[in-house]
Structure 1
Amino acid sequence: MGMGTVRVIPWVLCGLAGLAQAQEPLRLEALARCGDLLDRQQQSFCLQAKGIEEGPLTVMLGGQPVAAQRDGQGLRLQLRQGAQASAPVWLEQAGRRSNPVWLSMAGSHVLAATPAEVAKNMDGLTTYVDLVSVIIEERFDGLGEARKLAEKYGAQVVGAIAPLNTYQLRLPVHNLVERDAMVLRLGSEVSVDAVVVEESSPEGESETEGRKEQPKPSPDSDEWAANRFADAVNFYQRRVLAKKAPIKTTPIRVGVIERDVDFDSPDFARFLQPCQAPRSCLYARDAQQPTQHGSSVAGILLAERKGPGYSGFLRGLEGASQGFEVLLERNSDAGITANVAASVNLVEDGVRVLNWSWGLHRVGALNVEGDEVDSLVRSGLAMSGYEELLEEFFLWLRREHPDVLVINSAGNGASFSGTDEYRLPSSFVTDQLLVIGGHQRSDGPAVPLDDPAYVVKRASSNVDTRVDISASACTHASTLNAGEQGAVHCGTSYATPMVAGIVAAMLSINPTLSPAQVRMLLRRSAMTLGANYDFEPSDADDLTAPILPSERNFQIDNPDVGRSARLDMQKALDVSVQSLEQARGR
């Protein structure tokens, strides 16, 4: 067998006899570490595809063919650290090309539980029975200590997020009573900082819309106009390519913690073709339906649609930018632990902006009306572990990658984002985390775009001063037919990539901007919404931290002071150019 060529045994294809006639599209649906997850030198990856036919099949990694072996109905790669770097992987066969998926050699990976390995806890939530993660104190050798603990408790080390000194154990338990007893014993070990108990369904879930909703906008409503989306695209194209003092932009890598994208949708069909800078590229697993969460989030960044204001933002910057790479990655379906593992890998692979369109509420969290939040809730036991894990992540980020910025959705529980009793991860206070609320076009009298009454806070959006800025919460889902208008989806999940996209564009103009400077420029350039509350809002109508006089050139009587901040994409780019010019003039 030649390098990178897989000879498929005919009997394997007996169930696919009818595919030759229709020639099913070639798609990569899954990619994950397999084998010994603790081996950083020799890493194995298992791929699942559809549309493979009899005959030669080439596996491409970073543009070069690599050897692969059949493993059941999938493929297995064995790669050596140092010999191959993190890169997109795709399949080629008989003139067909699959979607490219990002393959990370960074090494962090955790296992998801199977349906037989979960149970319902006292709160009625699905929880892992025998898989937990231990965060080892910094002064200990993480892997060595995890193995000692495993030997002591009859457990097995099965996964790792080594940069965070976090290791996943499979415990010798059969029910939640046994698990909880062992978790208590593990937590009392001198070397253990915290134990992370995972609470998520095996199939996972996305950030859903909350119970407290308001009507969605009409399908033809241009919600993105509220953030000057088209104006920003026009400004970037004109200013970067200006004949006088053009700007040399920088390619930026964006990480998106999502499961997959439907490459059968015309929105993403172009990414089935070879892609390299200065074009923008998308790497993701293939989804079953275009209406799923990942396609909608990725579409705000890179969808290929007809008509102004409907294509993805970064797609609109092509021709002027040096390209943006968008890496969609979830690691596995192991809930928040997997989200963090994927984030660590992406950061180590050079991602500058991370899009987190997810978050959790603690059981018992109350919304602004005093009712309990009923969407995306987790027990106190799980939330305490998540809090420790996320704290380790942000400490590592500050220490090792201080230029990386995480953009996080505020949540859709009509609750509060600023305290860990209510929601994670938005309650963390760090320069490297931006929290995004959602607004919607007002149905009141027509007013100018920059009028605070042009939009209203979306009823389900979480609030309080921890929310840094708001953006349009509604977008059109992708479809399978070109020119067809998708259903309207709303939530802070979709406001988040609006901000992630503009932050990536700002950094492409001035890559020296720190996370704190990015927040400052976004707030200084923001439009407003809502009434002026003089910093003492009533009825929780404030959506974001109030605009300060220092964010309006110290004008105490500026009408924006005290109002919530609304993203102005065009102005954000303008002030980024000004920051670059000021840096050059020093």
Structure 2
Amino acid sequence: MTCTFPIKRGLWSALLLLTLPVTAAEPEPIRIQQLQRCGDLLQTQTQTFCLQVKGLQSGQWQARLNGERLAQQHVGSDGESLQLQVDGNGKRSGPLVLEQQGRQSNPVWLSLGSSHVLAATEDEVAENMDGLTSYVDLVSVVIEEEYDGLEEAKRLAEKYDARVVGMIPPLNTYQLRLAAKNLDERDATVLRLGGEVSVDAVVIEESGAEDSIEADTASAPPADNEEWAANRFLDAVNFYQRRLQQDSGDVQTHPIRIGVIERDVDFDAPDFGDYTGGDCRTDSRRLCLYARDADKPDGHGSTVSGIFAAAWDKGGNSGFLRGLDDVGPGFEVIVGRDSDAGITANIAASVNMVEDGVRVLNWSWGIHRVGAIDVNGDPIDSLVRSGTAMSGYEELLEEFFLWLREEHPNVVVVNSAGNGSSFSGRDEYRLPSSFVTDQLFVVGGHQRSEKDVPVDDAQYAVKRKASNIDMRVDITAAACVRSSTAKADEEGDVHCGTSYATPLVAGLLAAMLSINPELEPDQLRMLLRRSAMTIGEEYDFEPTEGDDLTAPILPSERANDLNNPDVGHSARLDMYKALDLTVQSLDRVR
């Protein structure tokens, strides 16, 4: 007779586990989540960088900049706070990676540029009369160009019991930490600083440390829409791959560097996972992506960056430039902000990127003045700033574009028109899109219509309801895109806004410049407009109204044909035709 004894489920499981082989847990990936200048920001020879890192284990680790090993110092007891000191002699800006026991971090762009500003902590901000978060003791002064900026900033600091703590030297702009303890004291000092003969403007920041850059809160279209078809996205990829095969030899492509002003990218998402590990530049044709790591795959930075660089067929986003890898020249996409110090930090990062060789800047952000109204006459209540703050930002942006024109005339900035259903070109309403310069491209947003018409029909797409409008908008592009996902083969949520139309245009401009790097900003705009399809009704050059999205297509943009049916309509991005015209432009200069 066989005797059996009942064994409780928990005990049985425990006995079973004892018989299984013991395997070591897979180490957590190394991820650089923060990289910012720290210490003395005025020091340009030996620069100190503070990093927040997860995944490092106890033991030795090393950092490599442009593949070269750096000396490093570990700071903090939790293993997550690191500090690097970089001697600028013989070194240049480039990708930084951390290595440990055969594992590599995500690559982050480390700029040795001199432009850096500090962000306020939670204890250093207060709510102003407009209900906006405002910096209490940190302001920036734009010094008149005939003065030595640093010397004059130090003189002003001594006079007003302040300290110089940050700077953007190419713009003669210096950040001061005031002795102010509240906004009344700050405003009194700002008023006195603004009266100094040497001061062109005083910039105050009105932004929290994690303020949203720009989002469209309107409802998304159905998930099965064909948004990018409205811009001939796949046709453009196919054209570049076929027409620009490197073994054909008739068109030589050139590497282009793109700067994206965003916080971070989730390298654990399948869309970006293969950018970690190894030296990206070992394959000269491949796109390289440098960014701080994010915790979630569907954040603003991941979605915007994904339109440039997301891997294909992973279920989430799909990057336009990534689709050109087999024949591409080796695009580089640098994602970053100098710090969380609002608009001033965006400009500081942009200056460094341009000095590091960026040819195309993507600005998927913008702000409205308090009191701005939409096309229906209703007030805008998101991404607003006070009149005082807007005046300072306007002067800072003016200095940036003047510097760009004088020192880097071939760099282009692509800016979102905004999602306030308002007017993008009115300087009393919105920045930076209201600036008029050849080097600034402004992008509106559209979505697929419900009409069954050919893709080149003006009614194939309709204006995105939330998109800002008017004559300052150069072109419109698809506003809706799927976000990256945490798992492969998942379908991402639909995100909409002019933030996501902007990188379609910026990526296309980078591709165009890779074909013909001699193209100047006004020539790029001409090619975009000449190649554009139409959207909306013809409005015969009357004042812009609620249904009009961009500046009207002119006869000069249609071979001076006054009777061309496109004339008078708004312009919709045609990525395929723009590349075709770019290749044709080579014949004119040969």
What TM-score bracket applies, with the shorter chain setting the length?
over 0.9
Per-residue CA deviations over 1:380-415 (Å, capped at 9, x if unaligned) read 000000000000000000000000000000000000
Largest Rg, 1 or 2: 2
Residue number among 548, 566, 579 corresponding to 1:573 in the alignment: 579
The superposition leaves residues 29-66 of structure 1 with CA deviations (integer Å, 9 ceiling, x where unpaired) of 01011111001111111111000101221111111111
Return the alpha-carbon distance in structure 1 between the equivalents of residues 316 and 549 of structure 2.
25
Shift of 1:287: 0.3
Fraction of identical pairs, as percent = 66
- Verify the 8 A CA contact 1:300 1:494 in the aligned structure 2: yes
Equivalent of residue 446 in structure 2, options 422, 436, 439: 439
Q: Aligned-pair distance for 1:307?
A: 7.4
Asked whether the 8 Å contact 2:205–2:341 carries over to 1, the reply is yes
Shift in alpha-carbon separation, 1:516–1:21, aligned structure 2, 3 A: same
Answer yes or no: is 1:54 the counterpart of 2:58.
yes
Partner of 2:16: none
Query: 1:514 pairs with 513, 520, 528, which one?
Result: 520
Normalization by structure 1: what TM-score? 0.94
**For 1:68 and 1:468, how far apart are their aligned partners in 2?**
47
Q: Which residue of 457, 462, 467 corresponds with 1:456? A: 462
Pair 1:471 & 2:477 matched: yes
Measured in 1, the distance between the counterparts of 2:235 and 2:525 equals 20
Shift of 1:225: 0.6
* 1:280-308 C-alpha deviation (Å, 9 max, x unpaired): 00000000111110000011001013179
Report the number of matched residues: 561
The one-letter code sitting in structure 2 at the alignment partner of 1:545 is A
Residue 280 of structure 2 aligns with an amino acid whose one-letter code is C
Residue 323 of structure 2 corresponds to which residue in structure 1?
A: 316
1:288 — aligned with what?
295
- 1:77 and 2:84 aligned: yes
- d(CA) in 1 for partners of 2:552 and 2:384? 28
Where does residue 394 of structure 1 map in the other structure?
401
C-alpha distance in 1 between matches for 2:173 and 2:404: 15
CA distance in 2, matches of 1:79, 1:129: 32
2:534 alignment partner, SS class = strand
CA gap of 1:361–1:538, structure 2 versus 1, over 3 A, is closer
Matched residue type, 2:476 = S
Within 2, Cα distance between the matches of 1:239 and 1:134? 50
- Is the contact made by 2:303 and 2:317 (CA closer than 8 Å) also made in structure 1? no
Cα displacement (A) at 1:95: 1.7
CA distance in 1, matches of 2:115, 2:258: 18
Aligned to 1:112: 119
Q: Secondary structure at the match of 1:313?
A: coil
The equivalent residue for 1:13 is none
Query: What amino acid sits opposite 2:514 in the alignment?
Result: S
Taking the TM superposition and a 5 Å limit, the aligned residue runs for 1:147-162 are 147-162=154-169
Structure 1 SS opposite 2:501? helix
Counterpart for residue 144 of structure 2: 137
Q: How far is 1:221 from its partner?
A: 2.0
Letter in 2 for 1:470: T
Q: How does 1:182-193 map to 2 (within 5 A)?
A: 182-193=189-200
Superposed CA deviations along residues 348-370 of structure 1, whole A, max 9, x for unmatched, are 00000000000000000010000
Partner residue in 1 for 2:365: 358
Kindly report which structure 2 residues correspond to 1:18-97, keeping only aligned pairs within 5 A, or say none. 21-72=25-76, 73-97=80-104
Q: Distance in 2 between matches of 1:579 and 1:309?
A: 35
Cross-structure match for 2:13: none
Superimposed CA distance per residue, residues 103-124 of structure 1 (whole angstroms, 9 cap, x where no aligned partner) = 0001110000000100000000
Cα distance in 1 between the residues matched to 2:474 and 2:447: 17
Provide the C-alpha distance between the structure 2 equivalents of 1:442 and 1:175, rounded to a whole number of angstroms. Answer: 51
* 1:503 aligned residue (504, 509, 512): 509
1:582 equivalent in structure 2: 588
What's the CA shift string for 1:405-430, capped at 9, x where partnerless?
A: 00000000000011111100000000
- The counterpart of 2:286, out of the listed 275, 279, 282, is 279
Quote the residue 1:11 is aligned against: none
| Contact 1:229–1:309 (8 Å) recurs in 2 | no
Aligned residue type for 2:452: A
Q: Are the aligned partners of 2:316 and 2:491 in contact in 1 as well (CA < 8 Å)?
A: no
Q: Is the 8 A contact 1:410 1:462 kept in 2?
A: yes
Cα drift, residue 237 of structure 1:
0.8
Contact in 2 for aligned 1:110/1:168 (Cα 8 Å)? yes
Correspondence for 1:341: 348
The aligned counterpart of 1:425 is 432
1:8 paired residue number: none
Offset, 1:249: 0.1
Q: For 2:66 and 2:547, locate their aligned partners in 1 and report how far apart those are by CA, in whole Å.
A: 49
Q: Which moved more, 1:296-305 or 1:69-78?
A: 69-78
Using the TM superposition, name which of 345-354 and 68-77 deviates more: 68-77
User: What is the TM-score with the length of structure 2 in the denominator?
Assistant: 0.93
Runs of 5+ unmatched residues, structure 1: 1-19
Residue 193 of structure 1 aligns with an amino acid whose one-letter code is: D
- Say what the alpha-carbon RMSD is for the aligned residues: 1.3
Matched, 1:205 2:212: yes
* 2:315–2:492 contact (8 Å) kept in structure 1: no
1:5 alignment partner in structure 2: none
